[in-house]
Chain A
C-alpha cells in the first residue's frame, strides 16, 4: 500500500501517501473537534485569523510573497462538517522538486510555512492582533450572509438545518452572525490555546515523498516538538447509528426571488444492520446516482420536470438528500413522481441490471480516488475518523456484496423526514 501512518505523539499522527500521479506535493493539517454551537463561529473565525499573519511572517502579504517565491505554492484553509465533527483544514500545495526549472529544496519550506501558520500565530498583548480579528469578523459576517447566493446549496443547507434541528449536524459550518459580536481578540486566543492543546491533529503528505525524510522533517520541527501528547476529543464515526423514527414528515417552505424552485427531501435510513451503509450507497445510486437512476430517468427524462434531479448519500449521518430544480408550478407533479420512485424501491421494482449499474458507478468512483490528491487524503482521513480502517479494495468488496434482498429490506426502512421547498 502506498499509504503509511505513524503516531508522532498521542493524538497527533503523520500520514504519508506515496504517489507519482501528480506534479505536486500536497501537505495538509486537519484539526478535529466535536461540532458544537458555541464553537462553530469561533472555529471559522480562527481559521481566517490564522492565515492573516504569523510571528515570523506578520502579514498576508509576506506569506504570499514567500509562497510565490516557491513557484507559486498555494496555501488554503477551510472548514468542514464531517459527521458530528468540525474539521479545520489547512493545505499547502507545491510543485514536486523534480519538475522545477532549477534545483531547490521545497519540502522543508512547505512544512515550515504550514506549521508556522497554524502553531505560531502573531500574538500581541495576550491576544491575536486586534486589527486582524476585527477585519475577519466583518469578512466572516459577509460569508455567513452569502449563504443565500447559491440557491441550490442554500436549499440543501436549509433542509439539513430543519432535519437536524437541535442536533449538532444541523449547525452551519461557518457559524452565526449573532455569535460573532461577543468574540474578542483575547477570547479567541484563549479558545485557540485550549483547542490546540486538546484537539486531534492529523498531518498528511502526498506526492513524491520519502517516508523517512518527511517523518524526520515533521518530528524535528520546533512547533511540532512543542505540542504535547493529548487524549484527543472528537466524535468517532461509528458504522452503526441510533434509530431515528420519523413520526411525521416535516414540510418547510421558504420564499425568495427565484425563477426555478429548489426541492430538497431529506430521507432517514433507519437500518442498524452490519454493512447497512454499503447497502444505502447502492440504494442511493439506484434511486438518484446518475443518468440511469430512477430520479433522473423519471423526473427529468420521462416527465421533463427538471434539469437537475438526483440524490446523494451522507454516509456519516446515514441520510439521503433528494434534490431537484423544478418549475415552481410543477411541485405537486414532481412530488408525486419522486414518491413513486421511493415506492418502486420498496417494492423491488428494479432489476439485477440496475443494481449492477449502480455498483459500477460507485466502484468506479472509488477506483478514481487515487487520481485526485485531496480526494485520496480525504478518504484516508475518513478512515482515521472511523472506528475501523478500510482499504479501497475492501470498500469495493463490500459494495459488490450487496444483494437485491438487502436493498429492498433497506428501502422499507427509508423514511421521508423533511421536505424542503425554496420558491418565489
Chain B
C-alpha cells in the first residue's frame, strides 16, 4: 500500500491498486464513530459514445443511461432492493450520477461489514429485465419533471448551452422523458459490462479503520472478472469559441437569477501537472473579484443589486472547463459589467499584494474545512481521483501559487470573448 500524507493538517491516505485493477483509497480517522464508503465508476453523462474494449464495437447510447443504470443497480434478482436492505440495518445509503462518474455509497456507525457485503454484492451483480426497466421510466420521469421546475438547474443547463455547441456537458444528467424511453436492458448491460469493470472504478473509505485489515475484507468480497483493455471514449472535437453570449428564460421566480461564466479554452490534457496550481489561482481570483471583502461585491451589495455573495466555481475535466459566478440579482447585466470592469482593471494594474495574500490565507482555510466530515473527505478523494488528482496536493501546492502566476492565469482564462450570461427572469 502506498502512503500519502499531509503534515499540515495531520491526515494520511493509503492507496492500493488491486490485482483486478480496482483502486482503493483508505483515509483512516481515529476516534470518529462514523464510517463512510463510496464506490465510483468513471462513467457519467459525458460518456455517450465509446468502443467496447472486448469487441471493439462502437456504441452510441441514449441520454441519461449512466443515471438510469444507477437507479437500476439496487434491484436484485431475488426480488429485494439493496437500498431497503441497507436502510433496514440503519445504514444511510445512496447513489448519485455526475457528468464524469457514478457513485454508490453508504455511511453508518454500526454494521459496517454487513453493509460492505451488500454494497459489494449489488454493485457487482446487475439485474435488468424488460419489466423492471419499464417501471423505472415512470420514477425517473418524475425526477426529470422535478428538475424542470428547478430554476437553478435550468439556469445551469442554459449556461452550458451558452458555452458549448456540441459538448456532452450540455446533456441533462437524467436525460429527457423521450431519451430514456429508448433505454433497454441490453443497453444497460452493455454499459455495465464496459464501465463497471474494476479497472475503471475507485473505492474510497473513510473512518476509524486499520487499513491492512480493511483491504483484506474488501478483497474477500471481490467477484473475479477477466481483465479488460482501456475504454476508448469518443467525444466531439474541442470547440474554441463559445456558442452564444446570452440566454434567458422566464420561470416562476421572485427575482432573476444569473450565471456569469467564462469558458476556459486552455487545453487541460496538456497541462495536467499544472491543474491544481491553476485551480487554486482561479479560486483566489474569483474571491478577489466577487468575494465578500472585494470592492465590486460591496458596491453591488450596497446598491441593492446583490443580496448575498455569488457562488464561485471552477468546473473542469479533460473535456470541458469553465468558471461560474452565480447568484440572484434584479440586474444581471450590471453584475456582468462589473465583473468585466474588475478583470480589466486587475489585468491592467496587477493584483494588490495585501489583498492577494489575505485571500490566499482564506483559501487555505477553505481547503482545511473540507476535512471536517468523513463523507466530504471520501467524496472529494473519489471525484479528484477520477480526474487523476491527489486531493492532498491542494494543501501541499498552496504555497507554490504566487501573485505573478495568478496574474498570468487571469490573463489566460478571464477573457472577455469567452464570457457568457445565463438568466432566469421572473414571469
Interface set of A (CB-CB < 8 Å, partner B): 20-24, 59-61, 64-65, 67-73, 93-95, 98-99, 101, 131, 135, 138-139, 142-143, 145-149, 151, 256-260, 290-292, 297, 300-301, 304, 306-308, 325-327, 353, 356-357, 359-361, 363-365, 367-368, 370-373
Contacts and interface: CB of A to CB of B under 8 A. Distances in A.
Contact of A93 (B110, B140, B369): B369
Nearest to A360: B90
B333 to A, nearest CB: 18
Contacts of A145: 254-255
B87 interface: yes
Contacts of A142: 254-255, 307, 328
A260 B146 contact: yes
Nearest to A73: B365
Interface in B62-99: 81, 83-84, 87-93
Contact of A148 (B91, B146, B252): B252
Interface core residue of B92, B145, B293, B365 (most chain A CB under 10 Å): B365
Contacts of A23: 9, 368-369, 371-372
B408 interface: no
Contacts of B83: 291
Q: Which 10 residue pairs of A and B lie closest in terms of their CB atoms, listed nearest first?
A: A360-B90, A72-B365, A72-B362, A71-B365, A64-B293, A364-B90, A307-B142, A64-B292, A304-B138, A371-B34
Contacts of B369: 23-24, 72, 93, 95
Interface residues of B, number: 62
Contact of B31 (A20, A24, A297): A20
Interface stretch (B210-218, B270-278, B298-306, B311-319): B298-306
A25 to B, nearest CB: 11
Contacts of A367: 33, 109-110
A371 B365 CA distance: 20
A22 B148 contact: no
Contacts, number: 164
11 contacts: A23-B369, A72-B363, A98-B10, A131-B302, A257-B251, A258-B252, A291-B83, A325-B142, A357-B87, A364-B90, A371-B373
Given A21-B32, A143-B307, A68 B293 contact: yes
Interface in B341-370: 358-359, 361-366, 368-369
A257 B427 contact: yes
A253 B295 CA distance: 46
A69 B358 contact: yes
A131 B298 CA distance: 14
Contacts of A307: 139-140, 142-143, 146
B253 interface: yes
B8 interface: yes
Interface string B277-311: 00000000000000111010010011010010000
B108 interface: yes
Given A99-B8, A307-B142, A72 B33 contact: no
Given A24-B369, A304-B138, A368-B109, A292 B88 contact: yes
Contact of B293 (A65, A95, A99, A148): A65
Q: Chain B CB within 10 Å — which of A259, A297, A306 has the most? A: A259
A300 B328 CA distance: 34
A360 B92 CA distance: 10
Interface in B147-177: 148-149, 151
Contact of A257 (B81, B252, B298, B328): B252
B135 interface: yes
A61 to B, nearest CB: 5
Given A259-B149, A353-B88, 19 more contacts: A24-B368, A64-B292, A65-B358, A68-B291, A68-B293, A68-B358, A68-B362, A93-B369, A94-B365, A95-B369, A98-B10, A99-B9, A139-B307, A142-B328, A260-B149, A306-B142, A307-B142, A360-B89, A367-B33
B374 interface: yes
A242 B118 CA distance: 45
A363 B9 CA distance: 32
Contacts of A370: 33
Contacts of A363: 90
A368 B34 contact: yes
Nearest to A66: B293
B113 to A, nearest CB: 15
Contacts of A146: 253-255, 328
Given A139-B304, A260-B145, A101 B364 contact: yes
